[in-house]
């Protein structure tokens, strides 16, 4: 006769081992499923990041397109001004466009400035003006904006167009009164007036520089120019009042 207790002692451990094995297998299966879910979650996160990056890139391209359109409008205004003979003015203020690092992009302020300086050095004055004015149109708040306008003025001076250079100098003083080019533009304004024969306006500019910015290099230069203008005027008066000089000049 089979001993029941003996059988129980034999079978019970087997049942325990069997149930434990099933449990371990189930746990392993659950862990595998959990790992798969983690992989899928990471993949979805990566896809979301890619979508977010694509969205940012799309917004960037739209901003660039708007900026390029504004710059193009500015160039058209410059060309129209040249055709009509009106003084050139900087491109209208537009929101700054952040530079992009992928695909077609708008040049940065530094790149546009360097491009303008290179063209100016090569005596390609019209193209230099367009590069400088594009910088001002795209990046009006840049530290290089007033430098770019000075480049525009230099280009006009090189073309012997003192009237347009004068317009740019006045624009710098008006738009960037706190910029590091304002005093240079002011002294250049006086010299432009002199070149145009408008000595009274030149003296007004020089006197303003001398009185408002004492101790600066530009104030010293302005004072020197005032002395030279005064000396020239005195010499001219003396010559006009000297009969011998009138005779030498063939005046009656």
CA angle 36–38–41, rounded 5-degree value: 110
Sign of torsion, CA 184 190 192 195?
negative
More reliable by pLDDT, 252 or 230: 230
Q: Which residues contact 96 (CB under 8 A, 6 or more apart)?
A: 67, 138, 139, 140, 141, 142
Say what the pLDDT of residue 216 is.
93
Instruction: Please tell me what DSSP assigns to residue 138.
Output: H
The predicted model gives 201-221 an average pLDDT of 93
Mean pLDDT of the chain: 76
| Phi, psi torsion values for 150, nearest 5 degrees | -60, -35
pLDDT in tens, 137-157: 999 999 999 999 999 999 999
Question: Domains, the chain, ranges and CATH?
Answer: 53-165 (1.25.40)
| CB-side neighbour CA atoms (13 Å) of 83 | 6
pLDDT in tens, 156-175: 999 999 999 999 999 999 99
pLDDT at 101 > cutoff 80: no
pLDDT at 46 > cutoff 90: no
Point out the least confidently predicted range of 101-105, 210-214, 224-228, 246-250: 246-250
pLDDT in tens, 49-92: 666 556 545 555 555 545 444 444 444 344 334 333 334 444 43
Name the pTM for this structure.
0.55
Instruction: Please tell me what DSSP assigns to residue 91.
Output: P
Say what the pLDDT of residue 43 is.
74
At 244, the pLDDT band (50, 70, 90 cuts) reads low
Q: How many residues does the chain have?
A: 252
Question: What CA–CA distance (Å, rounded) separates 92 from 235?
Answer: 46
From 83, 99, 184, select the one nearest 138 (Cα to Cα).
99
- Residue 128 tokens, joined: 């230099």
- Residue 149 tokens, joined: 């306008």
């Amino acid at each position: 006769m089979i001993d029941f207790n003996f059988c129980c002692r034999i079978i019970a451990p087997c049942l325990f081992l069997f149930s434990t094995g099933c449990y371990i297998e189930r746990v392993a299966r659950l862990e595998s499923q959990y790992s798969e879910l983690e992989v899928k979650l990471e993949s979805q996160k990566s896809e979301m990041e890619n979508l977010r990056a694509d969205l940012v890139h799309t917004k960037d391209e739209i901003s660039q397109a708007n900026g390029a359109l504004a710059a193009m409008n500015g160039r058209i205004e410059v060309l129209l001004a040249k055709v009509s003979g009106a003084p050139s003015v900087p491109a209208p203020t537009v929101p700054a466009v952040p530079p992009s690092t992928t695909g077609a992009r708008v040049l940065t302020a530094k790149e546009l400035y360097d491009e303008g300086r290179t063209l100016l050095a090569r005596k390609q004055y019209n193209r230099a003006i367009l590069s400088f004015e594009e910088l001002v149109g795209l990046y009006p708040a840049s530290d290089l904006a007033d430098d770019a306008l000075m480049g525009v003025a230099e280009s006009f001076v090189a073309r012997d167009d003192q009237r347009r250079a004068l317009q740019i100098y006045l624009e710098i003083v008006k738009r960037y009164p706190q910029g590091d080019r304002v005093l240079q533009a002011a002294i250049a304004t006086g010299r432009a007036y002199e070149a145009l024969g408008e000595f009274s306006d030149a003296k007004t500019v020089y006197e303003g520089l001398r009185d408002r910015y004492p101790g600066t290099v530009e104030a010293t230069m302005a004072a020197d120019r005032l002395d030279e203008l005064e000396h020239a005027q005195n010499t001219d008066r003396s010559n006009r009042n000297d009969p011998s000089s009138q005779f030498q000049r063939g005046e009656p």
